[in-house]
Structure 1
Amino acid sequence: MIIKVKENPETQEFLDFINEALSKRAFVIIVACCSIEYRGRATSRLGSGDRTILIKADGSFLVHQDHNLEPVNWQPPNCKFTTKIEDDKVHILGIRRNPNESLEIQINKSYLASYHIGEDSKTLKLAGYEEDMREMIFKNPELIENGFRVTSREYSVSSGFIDIMGKDKTGNLVVIELKSRRAGVNAVKQLKRYFDDFSDHKKFVRGILVAPSITEDALELLEEFQMEFIALEPPKDIIGSKNLTLDFFKAY
């Protein structure tokens, strides 16, 4: 890995350093007092403050404050960058053409500038999400109940996409909404919207919310709608989980 660092660089030194990093398509990290202006689908301005600026090799452009997870300003990959000195301040401009928008950062004081060039060709493998639960139930439909069979995944209806459609052992239609985390009222309301898409056949339709756990108010609403809850943990193993836990609670 190649790493270069500058502490408290002067204006021209800082500009030369950033241009060098951009020419090498390096991962750039800047800690600076800066002002920000965005122009595009909307406009925004952020006054001077101490922030962390990231420029990635893929052209991503992000500015973070010292709180909150999300960047306060950002541009997605494939930005084109230009730099300049104006009024003894370095300006970094990230531009996109489709849509036409730009993010301009004025560096009022640079505390730290660094860049590195590393090797990382691995793809992140995820587990424990709704998609994993969907696949798990597809392969093990008895996790819902004995006799259940899956007829469709991500079934399109007017209100969205139903995670799993199936039939129980008596032939009733089963609408299943999956949540990989604790389910709340919004999850119940989402399931109800899907359930209502089959209002002409409600007598033969069951709605089931599947999640690791559920809030008390969500469970009360589920009971009110006469729908069901199954507590099911998503698989945590990247390769596949064989030790599955299942608790069943019928909410009516």
Structure 2
Amino acid sequence: MKYKILEKPDCEKAYELVEEAMRKRATITLFACCKVEYEGRALSQLNWGERIILIKPDGSFLIHQDKKVEPVNWQPPKSKTRSYLSGERLILESHRRTPKELLTVEVRQIQFISYANMEDFEELEQAGYEKDMSDMIMERPHLIEEGFTPKTREYSVEHGFIDILGKDNDGNLMVLELKARKAGVSAVKQIRRYLQDLENTENDYLKECKAQKKKIRGILVAPSIMEDAREMIEEEGIEFVSVEPPRELKRDKKVTLDAF
């Protein structure tokens, strides 16, 4: 990895390093006293303070304070970064075309600035999310109940997308809402909206279900459920099934007797 570091440079030296780094498509890090202005979908201003500024070769531009995980200001990939000098100050601008946004950072004192040409070609592998639960249930539908047949995923209704739509042994429609963590009242309200959407739809299959006096069953699927949510599903006639999301990464996945 090629890198360069300057400690306590003046703004002119810092500007030269930023320009060099952008030519080399390097990742830039500054620890500096700065103020920030944003203009776009809203307006914001952050007065002088010491912050970490991170500029990535994909156009990402992030400003971090000494608290919280999320940046206080940021621009996404494909934004365009521009730097210039104004008097004794270094100005950094990040432009986004659609929607039109401008993030301007005025820097007056720099503790250190660095750039590095990083090599990283790996994609993050994740496990234990709703997508993993959905994959697992599609492969092993008996986890919900014997005779459950999943038909489709991400079924679009007025208020969002139903995670899994399927049928039970009696031909009743089953609406599954998946949560990888302990489910609360908001999850119950979400599946209730989906059930209402289906009740109001003109779907031919649902008309046939109603003609045959079939039910539409709402199933909340999560590892556990909060007490207030449990009370609410009992009132709403929604069912709860406890399922733990898979925790293994795909590259480490091994065949075990659990699959049979």
- Please report how far the alpha carbon of residue 82 of structure 1 lies from its aligned counterpart in structure 2 after TM superposition: 1.9
**Partner SS, residue 199 of structure 1:** helix
Alignment of 1:219-234 (within 5 A): 219-234=230-245
How many residues align? The count is: 245
Task: Return the TM-score normalized by structure 2.
Answer: 0.89
Residue in 2 aligned with 1:65?
65
**Partner SS, residue 123 of structure 1:** coil
Q: Which deviates more from structure 2 when the two are superposed, residues 150-159 or residues 193-202?
A: 193-202
- Please report how far the alpha carbon of residue 158 of structure 1 lies from its aligned counterpart in structure 2 after TM superposition: 1.6
**Partner SS, residue 132 of structure 1:** helix
Tell me whether 1:140 sits opposite 2:151 in the alignment: no
The separation in 2 between residues aligned to 1:192 and 1:78, in whole angstroms, is: 39
- Please report how far the alpha carbon of residue 90 of structure 1 lies from its aligned counterpart in structure 2 after TM superposition: 0.6
The separation in 2 between residues aligned to 1:120 and 1:47, in whole angstroms, is: 35
Residue in 2 aligned with 1:28?
28
8 Å CA contact 2:171, 2:214 repeated in 1:
no
| Paired letter, 1:223 | E
The separation in 2 between residues aligned to 1:206 and 1:162, in whole angstroms, is: 13
Q: Deviations over 1:48-88 (max 9, x none)?
A: 11111100010110101111221111111122222122131
Structure with bigger strand share is 1
8 Å CA contact 1:235, 1:241 repeated in 2:
no
Alignment of 1:11-90 (within 5 A): 11-90=11-90
**Partner SS, residue 198 of structure 1:** helix
- Please report how far the alpha carbon of residue 243 of structure 1 lies from its aligned counterpart in structure 2 after TM superposition: 6.5
The answer for unaligned runs of 5 or more in structure 1 is: 246-252
Task: Return the TM-score normalized by structure 1.
Answer: 0.91
Residue in 2 aligned with 1:169?
169
8 Å CA contact 1:233, 1:244 repeated in 2:
no
8 Å CA contact 1:37, 1:45 repeated in 2:
yes
Residue in 1 aligned with 2:160?
160
Alignment of 1:195-206 (within 5 A): 195-199=195-199, 201=210, 204-206=215-217
- Percent sequence identity over aligned pairs: 49
Structure with bigger helix share is 2
- Please report how far the alpha carbon of residue 225 of structure 1 lies from its aligned counterpart in structure 2 after TM superposition: 0.7
| Paired letter, 2:219 | I
- Please report how far the alpha carbon of residue 135 of structure 1 lies from its aligned counterpart in structure 2 after TM superposition: 1.0
8 Å CA contact 1:235, 1:244 repeated in 2:
no
Residue in 2 aligned with 1:250?
none
The separation in 1 between residues aligned to 2:174 and 2:79, in whole angstroms, is: 46
C-alpha spacing 1:44/1:243, structure 2 compared with 1 (3 Å):
farther
Q: Deviations over 1:159-191 (max 9, x none)?
A: 211101111112211111001111111001001
- Please report how far the alpha carbon of residue 27 of structure 1 lies from its aligned counterpart in structure 2 after TM superposition: 0.7
Tell me whether 1:119 sits opposite 2:130 in the alignment: no
**Partner SS, residue 111 of structure 1:** strand
C-alpha spacing 1:69/1:241, structure 2 compared with 1 (3 Å):
farther
- Please report how far the alpha carbon of residue 244 of structure 1 lies from its aligned counterpart in structure 2 after TM superposition: 9.9
| Paired letter, 1:121 | F
Q: CA RMSD in A?
A: 1.8
**Partner SS, residue 15 of structure 2:** helix
C-alpha spacing 1:149/1:241, structure 2 compared with 1 (3 Å):
farther
The answer for unaligned runs of 5 or more in structure 2 is: 201-209
